[in-house]
């Protein structure tokens, strides 16, 4: 399933580039944006440049991010590069602003799908993923911050209208990525249940998360209860809810979004 999502995300980005961005000389974010720039000002194809520029960071990813993640990322980079080479460059819209907006949104959807499938589209995404593992920063914000230099290059090489359109596309991409890739969002769960031991056992076996157990008593019924408190990522919520429902369908669960986690918290 992950492989299908990665391929679909890369193909969507390739269409966004060749249908909306490249025809108007609008750059994307990261190394892909540099590949577009070099593809415009040199005879080399954008797909070939994208593959060559990503090779050094892919090597860094092998050393820092693990074999499975980097294998998925290599699949994404290769698929995107082939897509940029095969998909024809067609000016789908004659309006640069609309093209930058729609191109940025489609790029964000493709990149977000790739991130959700435990991969990246390569380039600066790898650096952003390394930083996000240490701090709870939104990936889209990180990518936007690191891409300011792309906007400046677009202004000097083409025109400042192109630079502003590039900024619109990068901003749209970052926002959409943050809507889809929600791993940086943390949730605090307070689970009130009469089957605390069973739920604890299932959660500890399925999730790499700590759980705090508090003995409690129902004010109305006077029956003994256990309160389980844990912090999870947004991605893990559906799995946790299913586990709780399977063990104790009558459990009371309070879910709140966590602003910040201080101390030991495994960020995967």
Residues facing 252 on adjacent strands: 192
The domain segmentation of the chain, as residue ranges, is 1-181, 186-258
Extract the tokens encoding 197: 């031991």
Q: Tens digit of pLDDT for each residue in 151-165?
A: 887 788 888 888 889
* Structural domain 186-258, CATH architecture: 2-Layer Sandwich (3.30)
Is pLDDT at 236 greater than 90 in this prediction?
A: no
pTM of the model: 0.70
Work out the burial of residue 106: count CB atoms within 10 Å of its CB; fewer than 13 is exposed, 13-18 middle, 19 or more buried: buried
Q: Tens digit of pLDDT for each residue in 113-145?
A: 888 777 777 777 676 666 666 565 565 566 666
Query: pLDDT band at 89, cuts 50/70/90?
Result: very high
User: In angstroms, what CA-CA distances link 195 with 180, 207, 219, 235, 243?
Assistant: 34, 18, 18, 24, 12
**pLDDT value at residue 140:** 58
> Region 157-177: what's the mean pLDDT?
86
């Amino acid at each position: 399933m992950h492989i299908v999502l990665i391929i679909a995300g890369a193909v969507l980005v390739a269409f966004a580039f060749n249908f909306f961005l490249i025809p108007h000389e609008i750059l994307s974010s990261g190394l892909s944006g540099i590949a577009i720039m070099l593809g415009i000002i040199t005879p080399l194809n954008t797909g070939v440049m994208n593959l060559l520029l990503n090779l050094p960071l892919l090597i860094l990813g092998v050393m820092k991010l693990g074999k499975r993640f980097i294998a998925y990322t290599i699949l994404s980079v290769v698929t995107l590069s082939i897509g940029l080479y095969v998909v024809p460059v067609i000016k789908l819209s004659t309006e640069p602003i609309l093209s930058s907006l729609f191109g940025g949104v489609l790029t964000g959807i493709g990149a977000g799908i790739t991130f959700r499938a435990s991969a990246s589209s390569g380039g600066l995404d790898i650096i952003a993923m390394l930083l996000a593992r240490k701090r709870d920063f939104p990936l889209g914000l990180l990518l936007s911050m690191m891409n300011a230099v792309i906007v400046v290059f677009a202004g000097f090489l083409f025109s400042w209208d192109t630079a502003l359109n590039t900024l619109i596309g990068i901003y749209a991409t970052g926002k959409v990525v943050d809507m889809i890739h929600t791993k940086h969002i943390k949730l605090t769960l307070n689970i009130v249940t009469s089957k605390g031991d069973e739920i604890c056992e299932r959660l500890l076996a399925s999730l790499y998360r700590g759980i705090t157990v508090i003995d409690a008593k129902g004010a109305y019924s006077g029956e003994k209860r256990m309160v389980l408190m844990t912090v999870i990522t947004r991605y893990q919520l559906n799995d946790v809810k299913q586990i709780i429902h399977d063990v104790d369908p009558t459990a009371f669960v309070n879910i709140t979004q966590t602003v910040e986690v201080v101390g030991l918290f495994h960020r995967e």
